[in-house]
Structure 1
Amino acid sequence: MEQRERVGFIGLGIMGRGMARNILKAGFPLRVWNRTASRMAELAAEGAGPASSPGDLAFHSDIIITCVSDTPDVEQVILGEGGVIHGARPGSLVIDMSTISPRATQRIATQLAERHIHMLDAPISGGSEGAERGTLSIMVGGDAAQFERALPVFQAMGKTITHLGPIGAGQTTKLVNQILVVGHALAMSEALLFAQAGGVDLRKALEAVAGGAAGSWMLSNRGPQILARDWRPGFTIDLQQKDIRLVLQEADRLGVPLPGTALIHQLYRTLQARGLGHEGNHALIKALENLAGIEVGVWSEGA
């Protein structure tokens, strides 16, 4: 029986916990590291080995996965003091599943390659639910042979796994995904606000439109949460804003106008100013409710 590659996982946040657990369930030897050490205890109890640093984790792993918040975090855990680059062996593979700048991804890959360490960028979509269920969409950039090497690990975490081209292509595609996500969130918010004002039964309206041309993952999964005034995050406003910022920076570099995405960035900013950055990205509707003086779902709860 072929020996499975040893996997290291860095970043046990809202997405990383479920992803790491599914790797463990798939039978891969797993070592974990998180900046907040207490988050390692739960997975350690399930059989994962806790590491003392990203470099220590990398030294004991063949495939090293990072899933952290932003570009500086990725740079720190991979290139910083005690980072992956200082422990990884030649021939090992680093997979960054965070959402960061495509340009930064290429710079990191270049520095790793100087030490004969491979890299894939493989950002994800599907929310915390997808991370827990192992149904994420995974968008991969990098060498095709390394993609094939990593595929069994990807299959433990996701269902839609696509190799998109050279390093950085995964991150660019993830930014495409985020333009669509926030666009769907705004369309859903406007539609539910309109339905509320028009006196329509909101639950029945959701059922009526979800199966047609207007249906979307956002509508089916986050629409019911809005009606229940449930703002628990599959993805927080703060993280969504970070991704929109990356989109707008890259669009500016490319000379591409994105007026709708820029507007959504400003609407989310009003919610952050109210201290709501920890809520789910579907709370975008609160920005429109504030403009209209209407709360969606309130009367429908008692219907």
Structure 2
Amino acid sequence: MSAGRRVGIIGLGAMGRPIADALTRAGYGVVGYDLSDAARAAHVDAGGIAAEDVAAVAHAADVILTSLPSARAVHAVLAEIGATGLPRTVVETSTLTLGEKMAARTVADDSGLVLLDSPLSGTSAQAASGDVVAYLSYDGRPDLTAVEPIMSAFARTVYHVGPFGNGTKTKLVANSLVAVHNLAAAEALLLAERSGLDPAATLEAVQDGAGGSKMLRVRGPLMLNGAYEPATASVDIFVKDLGAIRDLAAASGTPMPLVEETSAVYATAARQGRGTHDAACVYEVLRTSPTDSGKEPI
């Protein structure tokens, strides 16, 4: 297989794994690395190539995707790629705060890497079906000849949203809607249940009308079936992302009362031990709330 048909990916978790699978199906040789032995083994079982470390990925592919859980992990991986001395392009898809993503750019610049900020909008289930959107941002005029076909192989649409950092800003705007809409879906379905309607029939009817939303369609069935594990996107992820959204709102002087109220409910879910559950479990938080608000007294 030619070098041009190889792509690296570091992070084979909830989002990285379906991305890697999509690239494999598209005919790429996907060289992947994850700290988890099980994740690397699953990658091989799906037709991928397992690397023994980050440096091995850098030696195998000119373009590398990263899908990682924290800024610390992103910064460490960029430093390890840079330590190889190879001029690689890294497409960073993780959702971080704007400050963390900008710090990642500094690490990349110091390491001689071209870093593209490109978070993805969609759950892991959506990623598995190719129903994710990428928000691509970068400085200057990088050569995207190899990057664009790679991204189109796993994303439904790739939006070029401007200078580096705009990808993260756009993702946080999108996630503010996701978090609020998910909670709104839970409220609406609980109202249907407690007012004596058939929740499943109501879900179908309202989804087809003006009140329909992607969160209602994707997570409504999970709520009604109590199907919260494995998570397509966990409460812990929502809590982290809402923190990043609130940071951006504070920095830009943007009032976000719905995000503030929504954040409190997800924080309650986390305190109840639901951190690893799918965010659809806010339905249970509302159903069992002693205060009829979903928020525990602080």
Please confirm whether the aligned pair reaches a TM-score higher than 0.5, indicating the same fold: yes
Match for residue 264 of structure 1 among 262, 268, 272: 262
1:300 maps to what in 2? none
Match of 2:193 in 1: 196
Equivalent of 1:245 in 240, 243, 246: 243
Do the aligned partners of 1:7 and 1:30 also contact (CA within 8 Å) in 2?
Answer: yes
SS in 2 for 1:230: coil
Asked if the contact 2:16/2:67 (under 8 Å) is kept, the reply is: yes
How far apart, CA to CA, are the structure 2 residues paired with 1:59 and 1:198?
61
Write the letter of the residue equivalent to 2:210: A
**Structure 2 matches for 1:117-156, cutoff 5 A?**
117-143=113-139, 145-156=142-153
Residue 173 (structure 1) shift: 0.5
> How far does the alpha carbon of each residue in 1:121-141 deviate from its partner, in whole angstroms, 9 at most, with x for none?
111122111221222111111
Q: Is the 8 A contact 2:95 2:168 kept in 1?
A: yes
Mapping of 1:268-283 within 5 angstroms?
Answer: 268-283=266-281
2:29 counterpart of 1:29: yes
Aligned residues of 2:5 and 2:27 also touching (Cα < 8 A): no
Looking at structure 1, the residues matched to 24 and 109 of structure 2 have their Cα atoms a distance apart, in angstroms, of: 28
AA aligned to 2:107 is Q
Is 1:289 aligned to 2:290, yes or no? no
> In structure 2, the residue corresponding to 1:27 is in which secondary structure?
coil
Change (3 A) 1:51 1:199: same
CA contact (8 A) 1:54 1:78 kept: no
Instruction: State the AA in 1 paired with 2:133.
Output: S
Query: Any conservation in 2 of the 1:59–1:88 contact (CA below 8 Å)?
Result: no
* Structure 2 equivalent of residue 298 of structure 1: none
Q: Is the 8 A contact 1:26 1:156 kept in 2?
A: yes
Moved over 3 A (4+): 143-149
Deviations along 1:266-288, one digit per CA (max 9) or x if unpaired, are: 11111111111111111112221
**Structure 2 counterpart of 1:301:** none
2:221 to 221, 224, 242: 224
Unmatched runs of 5 consecutive residues or more in structure 2 = 293-298
Shift of 1:115: 4.2
Displacement of 1:7: 0.9
Q: Distance in 1 between matches of 2:111 and 2:70?
A: 24
Rounded to whole Å, the distance in 1 between the matches of 2:185 and 2:100 is 33
2: CA distance, partners of 1:3 / 1:58? 12
CA contact (8 A) 2:97 2:168 kept: yes
Aligned residues: 290
Q: Deviations over 1:10-34 (max 9, x none)?
A: 1111111111111111112221100
Name the SS of the counterpart of 1:38 in structure 2: helix
Q: Which residue number corresponds to residue 253 of structure 2?
A: 255
Shift of 1:47: 3.6
Q: Is the 8 A contact 2:93 2:119 kept in 1?
A: yes
* Aligned-pair CA distance for 1:4: 2.4
RMSD value over aligned CA atoms? Answer: 2.0
Contact 1:88 1:117 in 2 (8 A): no
The alpha-carbon distance between structure 1 residues 148 and 181, as it changes in their structure 2 partners (threshold 3 A), is farther
Mark the CA change 1:75 to 1:208 in structure 2 (over 3 Å): closer, same or farther.
same
Residue segments in structure 1 that go unaligned for 5+ positions in a row: 295-303
Q: Is the 8 A contact 1:70 1:242 kept in 2?
A: no
Cα displacement string for residues 45-92 of structure 1 (whole angstroms, at most 9, x for unaligned residues): 34422222212211221001110112222112222xxx22212512x2
The answer for the alignment partner of 1:74 in structure 2 is 74
